[in-house]
């Protein structure tokens, strides 16, 4: 009886879904400057760049993770941001399109603009 109980327990443990632990990547900009860390939680389908869960993962393949800006955290009247991370090389590309202020006070109005950013995010070695 004890052997069957042990086998049943081991089977139940092995059948429970495994939870992936969020992992932190160290990021640099295209010119090699340190940037905010990127935390990826595949189970929750969120990416956090810095301290805020700022992206929702919408697509995962063997090679790429695609995420869009979390509108609950970052609000823009017009536009959005998309992030694509190459899981093999660590290279990322971000693209934004939206309405942006012409000056710091936003007194002179807004204009539609697009931006693109790229760099690399990798796991720390030690």
pLDDT digits (tens, 9 = 90+) for 88-105: 999 999 999 888 888 888
Other C-beta atoms closer than 10 Å to the C-beta of 48 total 20
User: Residue 111: its pLDDT value, please?
Assistant: 85
User: Residue 16: its pLDDT value, please?
Assistant: 44
User: Residue 14: its pLDDT value, please?
Assistant: 44
Q: Which residues of the chain have pLDDT under 70?
A: 1-19, 53, 72-77
Closest among 95, 85, 94, 93 to 122, alpha carbons compared: 85
User: Residue 79: its pLDDT value, please?
Assistant: 82
The domain locations on the chain are 19-122
User: Residue 51: its pLDDT value, please?
Assistant: 77
User: Residue 11: its pLDDT value, please?
Assistant: 41
User: Residue 43: its pLDDT value, please?
Assistant: 94
Considering Cα of 53, then 54, then 58, then 59, what sign does the dihedral take? Answer: negative
User: Residue 72: its pLDDT value, please?
Assistant: 65
User: Residue 13: its pLDDT value, please?
Assistant: 43
Q: What is the dihedral of CA 56, 106, 99, 47, to 10 degrees?
A: -10
């Amino acid at each position: 009886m004890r052997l069957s109980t042990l086998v049943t327990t081991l089977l139940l443990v092995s059948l429970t879904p495994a939870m992936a632990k969020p992992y932190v990547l160290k990021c640099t900009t295209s010119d090699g400057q340190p940037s905010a860390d990127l935390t990826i939680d595949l189970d929750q389908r969120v990416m956090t760049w810095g301290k805020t869960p700022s992206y929702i993962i919408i697509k995962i393949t063997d090679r790429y993770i695609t995420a869009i800006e979390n509108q609950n955290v970052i609000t823009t009247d017009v536009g959005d941001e998309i992030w694509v991370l190459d899981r093999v090389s660590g290279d990322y590309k971000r693209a934004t399109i939206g309405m942006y202020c012409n000056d710091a006070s936003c007194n002179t109005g807004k204009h539609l603009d697009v931006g693109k950013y790229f760099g690399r995010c990798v796991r720390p070695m030690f």
